[in-house]
Amino acid sequence: MQLSIDLTGREVLVTGSDHAVRQAVRRYQAAGAVVSRLSTPQGAAHDGPLPERPFLVAAVDDGQPGWEPLLARCRTTGVPVAVEPAAGPAGHVTLVGGGPGTTELLTVAAVDALRDADVVFYDRLAPCGDLPLLTSAELVDVGKRPGHHKVSQADIEKLMVASALDGNNVVRLKGGDPYVFGRGGEEVAACVAAGVPVRVISGVTSAISVPAAAGIPVTHREVSHMFTVVSGHAPLTEKEHMHLAGLGGTIVVLMGIGTLHQLAAGLRKAGMRPEMPMAVVERGYRPGQRTTIADLGTITSAAAGCSNPAVLVIGEVVRVAEANSTHAGAAADLDRLAASLLGS
Ligand code: SAH
């Protein structure tokens, strides 16, 4: 169970060794609490006087024996005790897939890693709006925009490694999944080369979730039993167009707005029929989400005003979304009819 309590000005006693409590202290301070510290059960090394009767005791499980009598005394006198795990071992990197941009599609593992972080290096497409609520870590924007890199990939890797070697728990928060056009493999290799422990938390990739946000299933029984995810950051070759057109499944293109024209022309030249349905889904799960549906022959003009970030979907599955939205529209019509009948 989770409760939200306004801690502004409340006295919170955080118990546990300095290393184990560092994130908890930052979190309570960020929430506006007046934090005091007790680092051993014998009462050693606390900063300033202890509160007579704290509003809350945050008992960080640092593995030291001897805390229980103190915590039991707090409980019997009616002071709530919130037990929480210690901060993880210092000096490692966690690559976290942040999903397509909404906090709701972060995994539980991603939320835990953010909570345990000292520093977060995040990308533009990661869900960064709510980060101050999810972590008390230092937040560093290393976001790249198409065309110009804010911080070069080599510098991101150096920053991550240096911060971990300084003893920080580093989270590298990336949009979608770290291993889908996310340079996750390179970042893992940089950590391994520097002897920094590294792990990867998979994320919800935009390749599947952004079409879903527009009601498009990438596979659908008897419509498409495969999907291919392609990067459109550079035009595909004639051979690649041929192979894609020959597969007969759904084609999902990321980073494809700049090469949309070449893609549509290339697939048509490779024999795909101009009536093949195609969708451009911009800003999935974000304000201003928009879907443009056309076909291979008309998409270039229909999507002229579309911009990044966007996912392109080519295939009969696009019709499934259209059919479902017609049903949704019919349901809305029924609702309106029912409301007007009830009102009359
Ligand atoms: N690792 C990411 C992809 C990184 S490449 C993942 O697994 O999702 C960046 C591309 O992802 C963008 O150019 C766009 O094509 C797509 N993308 C990511 N988030 C998106 C969103 N919210 N809406 C539309 N497209 C998105």
Say whether pLDDT at 46 is over 90.
Answer: no
Choose between 130 and 256: higher pLDDT.
256
What pLDDT does 47 receive? 58
Residues with Cβ < 8 Å from 100, sequence gap 6 or more?
Answer: 125, 175, 176, 204, 205, 206, 209, 210, 213, 284, 285, 286
Ligand 1 in contact with 208 (CB < 6 A)? Answer: no
What dotted CATH number matches 207-323?
Answer: 3.30.950.10
174 catalytic residue (yes or no): no
Domains 92-204 and 207-323 fall in the same CATH topology: no
Helix axes 238-247, 260-269, angle to 10 degrees: 70
| Range of 79-88, 138-147, 264-273 with top mean pLDDT | 264-273
123 catalytic residue (yes or no): yes
Say whether pLDDT at 320 is over 60.
Answer: yes
| Residue of minimum CA distance from atom 11 in ligand 1 | 254
Q: How far is CA 50 from CA 29, 34, 79, 190, in A?
A: 16, 11, 14, 45
Instruction: Locate 259 and state its tokens.
Output: 């090469």
Calculate what percentage of the chain has a pLDDT beyond 70.
92
Residues with Cβ < 8 Å from 44, sequence gap 6 or more?
Answer: none
Q: Which of 254, 259, 283, 289 to mutate to test the pocket of ligand 1 (most atoms within 8 A of CB)?
A: 254
Strands (E), the chain: 11-15, 34-38, 56-61, 81-85, 92-97, 119-122, 138-141, 144-145, 148-149, 169-174, 198-201, 227-231, 250-254, 277-282, 290-295, 310-314
Query: 66 alpha carbon to ligand 1 midpoint, in Å?
Result: 50
Query: 193 alpha carbon to ligand 1 midpoint, in Å?
Result: 28
Report the range of poorest mean pLDDT among 93-97, 112-116, 145-149, 215-219. Answer: 145-149
Strands (E), 70-132: 81-85, 92-97, 119-122
Which of 82, 111, 69 is CA-nearest to residue 94? 111
Q: Give me the amino acid identity at 338.
A: A
Ligand 1 in contact with 309 (CB < 6 A)? Answer: yes
Homologous superfamily of domain range 92-204? Tetrapyrrole methylase, N-terminal domain (3.40.1010.10)
Q: Could you identify the atom of ligand 1 that is nearest to the CA of residue 282?
A: 24
Q: Which of 290, 311, 313, 314 to mutate to test the pocket of ligand 1 (most atoms within 8 A of CB)?
A: 311
Q: Give the active site residue among 112, 144, 158, 295.
A: 144
Ligand 1 in contact with 144 (CB < 6 A)? Answer: no
What pLDDT does 2 receive? 73
Mean pLDDT across the chain: 91
| Residue of minimum CA distance from atom 16 in ligand 1 | 254
Distance of alpha carbon 139 from alpha carbon 30, whole angstroms:
13
Cβ proximity of 115 and 109 under 8 Å: no
| Range of 81-95, 119-133, 195-209 with top mean pLDDT | 195-209
Say whether pLDDT at 270 is over 60.
Answer: yes
| Prediction pTM value | 0.83
Ligand 1 in contact with 267 (CB < 6 A)? Answer: no
Backbone angles phi, psi at 144, to 5 degrees: -110, 135
What pLDDT does 342 receive? 67
What pLDDT does 51 receive? 78
Would you kindly state where each structural domain of the chain is located, as residue ranges?
12-84, 92-204, 207-323
Choose between 1 and 333: higher pLDDT.
1
Direct distance between the N- and C-terminal alpha carbons of the chain, in angstroms, rounded to an integer: 45
- Alpha helices by DSSP H, listed for 31-152, are 68-76, 108-115, 131-134
Q: Give the active site residue among 62, 123, 177, 278.
A: 123
Predicted confidence band at 322 (pLDDT cuts at 50, 70, 90)? Answer: confident
Distance of alpha carbon 338 from alpha carbon 344, whole angstroms:
10
